[in-house]
Amino acid sequence: MLLNGRLRREWQDRPALTEAVTRAFVVADGTVDVVQAEEFIARMMARAIAGGDPTSRQMQIAAVVADVWLANLTAWVRQRATTAECCQRLDHATRLLLARELQE
């Protein structure tokens, strides 16, 4: 997925920003700002998946993809996974989650 590639490049090119944003999400207390940021990220991914206005199913898929991204960024920031491992996991998870969407 094109979005995966772009996000990976951004994350790798700006490691300090990636770490700061990831840590902010991980320790967040559920404030309105955090919820809005999560929703924005999911909407952005859903629009990329849909190529326009997403369906409710595509929004649900995007929310899971966003969660997978956050989990992998957290592993990367904490040095529990290499960049290559995270990229492989993200590609694999995204392909599995989008398999039906890509066939239609």
Dist. CA 70–CA 89, nearest whole Å: 12
Q: Tokens standing for 94?
A: 């995204």
In sequence order, what are the residues at sequence separation of 6 or more whose Cβ sits closer than 8 angstroms to the Cβ of residue 12? 18, 83
Residue 54 banded pLDDT, cuts 50, 70, 90: very high
pLDDT digits 0-9 by tens, 55-81: 999 999 999 998 898 888 888 888 899
The rounded mean pLDDT for the chain is 82
- In three-state secondary structure terms, 77 is helix
- Total-model pTM: 0.74
Structural domains of the chain, ranges and CATH numbers in brackets: 2-103 (1.10.357.10)
Output the pLDDT for position 37.
78
